């Protein structure tokens, strides 16, 4: 059995910590809670990251990289069903692979902080990826996107916790596409 690499260990720490930040907020998630969640002592955790802020920053950086990669992958597609499906598929995959960071991303909708420039920029990148033009706001589209992706995030988290990702994936994609207004024939 292969031992995990340092980057794999750190990715696991970041994801589990992100889940705690999503659940409790940055201020109320402690280094002790994070250490306990990843099975390290506080000193062992600090060997990988110098502070709670460094772990949080790494989570935000990972979330931003995902959003930017997603935007880049769909930029050439016209706004519509094909682009929405690409964003939904990528979002499901990300939520299954990094559920804690995905949950932290959902915090944008649950508890927006107008002063958190980085999280707001990530939100704008996601809106651009799904084809929302903030200069021409369409209330129906904003509501559909918010409902669809909030539901996707919660459902993905439950699928991961119950180890049902493979079984639920197709239904999750279909339900999210339906919420976006793309009924299956």
Q: Class of the 6-179 domain?
A: mainly alpha
pLDDT at 28 over 80: yes
Distance between CA atoms of 37 and 83, rounded to whole angstroms? 37
What pLDDT, on the 0 to 100 scale, is given for residue 123? 87
Distance between CA atoms of 102 and 136, rounded to whole angstroms? 27
Q: Record the pTM.
A: 0.90
Give the number of other Cβ atoms within 10 Å of residue 29's Cβ. 21
- pLDDT band of residue 115 (cuts 50, 70, 90) is confident
How far does CA 144 lie from the centroid of its chain? 18
Mean predicted confidence (pLDDT) in 16-42: 94
What pLDDT, on the 0 to 100 scale, is given for residue 183? 85
Mean predicted confidence (pLDDT) in 125-149: 91
What pLDDT, on the 0 to 100 scale, is given for residue 118? 87
Distance between CA atoms of 52 and 72, rounded to whole angstroms? 30
pLDDT at 20 over 80: yes
Average pLDDT over all residues of the chain:
92
pLDDT at 185 over 70: no
């Amino acid at each position: 059995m292969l031992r995990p690499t340092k980057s794999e260990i750190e990715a696991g720490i970041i994801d589990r910590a992100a889940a705690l930040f999503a659940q409790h907020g940055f201020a109320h998630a402690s280094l002790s809670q994070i250490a306990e969640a990843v099975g390290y002592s506080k000193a062992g955790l600090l060997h990988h990251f110098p502070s709670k802020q460094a772990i949080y920053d790494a989570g935000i950086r990972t979330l931003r990289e995902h959003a930017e990669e997603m935007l880049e992958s769909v930029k050439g597609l016209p706004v519509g069903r094909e682009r929405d499906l690409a964003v939904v598929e990528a979002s499901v995959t990300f939520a299954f692979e990094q559920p804690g960071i995905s949950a932290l991303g959902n915090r944008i909708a649950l508890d927006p902080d107008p002063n958190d420039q980085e999280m707001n920029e990530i939100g704008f990148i996601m809106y651009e990826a799904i084809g929302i033009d903030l200069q021409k706001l369409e209330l129906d589209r904003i509501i559909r996107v918010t409902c669809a992706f909030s539901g996707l995030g919660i459902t993905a988290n439950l699928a991961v916790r119950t180890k049902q990702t493979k079984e639920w994936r197709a239904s999750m994609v279909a339900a999210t596409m339906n919420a976006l207004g793309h009924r299956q024939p």
